[in-house]
Amino acid sequence: MKNPEGEHTEIDLLLETIYQRYGYDFRSYARASIVRRTMLFRSNAGCASVSEMIPRIIDDEDFASHLIRYFSIAVTESFRDPLVYRAVREKVIPLLRTWPHCKIWHAGCATGEEVYSLAIVLKEEGIYDRTTIYATDFNNEALDRARAGIYEIGKLKEATRNYQQAGGKRSFSEYYHARYQAAAMDKALNERVVFSSHNLASDSAFGEMHLVFCRNVLIYFNHDLQNRALGLFTESLVHGGFLCLGTKEDLQFSDFSDRYELVDKNARIYKKKNWP
């Protein structure tokens, strides 16, 4: 039987190898998630052990890329948690309107469904044309899908329901073009979106953001990496800017809880305080 401690040491070496060879840092991701995804990949790749994977990671970039995709969290959907988008409409956008131009960082955007959801809300509230959205993820394959904005048509029924619950003002069908088994989002929705690669574990902050949208990403980080990410968001936001987290995430036990005031508890929306 495999020694659990030995297996965990092998995973530590695997993560260190990925970092040293390719620059992707998963060493501070939540351990249970990393172990689960590593074992799933090992099984699917037909490897007898984690240690067997390490030399292949070094020598085979395609093999490494495949594993890295396993570590990428791409669970998302259009208007996920509709109450959040309703709260953004009612409690965030009225203040965003007071700035002549708005900059939004959508961190961990995955395949982009929530980026287009936010763009729709901004359009319906009349401020999309004076907004720039920086949509980032470390997974370049996911970013390519986000740029294309083409999704399975089978997901549209739930997306339509979510949109309506989020306070949608039009027919959701006006925002996409369906053909065969795919739906392409209206190109007007990404005219103000800049998709780019960014790793919350190793890259730096963005500047002068009015809203940081990072939902259901921090739950996959350990405490230290959560604090690093929250530090980037806090550094990026202007005074009075907004931070929107996932509905199972909060600032309560972070190093930055005193830097924000709560705007909406259920939607996990916070406003950055003025700081001396």
**Domain ranges within the chain, ordered by starting residue:** 4-71, 82-272
Residue 174 to residue 153: CA distance in whole angstroms? 14
12: alpha, beta or left? (left if phi > 0; alpha if psi -120 to 50): alpha
* Residue 1 pLDDT level (bands cut at 50, 70, 90): very low
What pLDDT is recorded for position 249?
A: 94
Fill in the DSSP letter of residue 100: S
User: In the predicted model, what is the mean pLDDT of the chain?
Assistant: 92
The predicted-structure confidence for 70-115, as pLDDT tens digits, reads as follows 887 666 899 999 999 999 999 999 999 999 999 999 999 999 999 9
H/E stretch holding 145? helix 140-148
What residues contact residue 196 under an 8 Å CB cut-off, 6+ apart? 134, 135, 136, 143
* Residue 14 pLDDT level (bands cut at 50, 70, 90): very high
Global confidence as pTM: 0.87
Residues making up the chain, counted from first to last: 276
- Cβ atoms of 244 and 268 within 8 Å: the answer is yes
The predicted-structure confidence for 198-217, as pLDDT tens digits, reads as follows 999 889 999 899 999 999 99
Fold of 82-272: Rossmann fold (3.40.50)
Q: Any alpha helices (H) in 125-254, and if so which ranges?
A: 140-148, 156-165, 223-236
What pLDDT is recorded for position 181?
A: 86
- Cβ atoms of 241 and 209 within 8 Å: the answer is yes
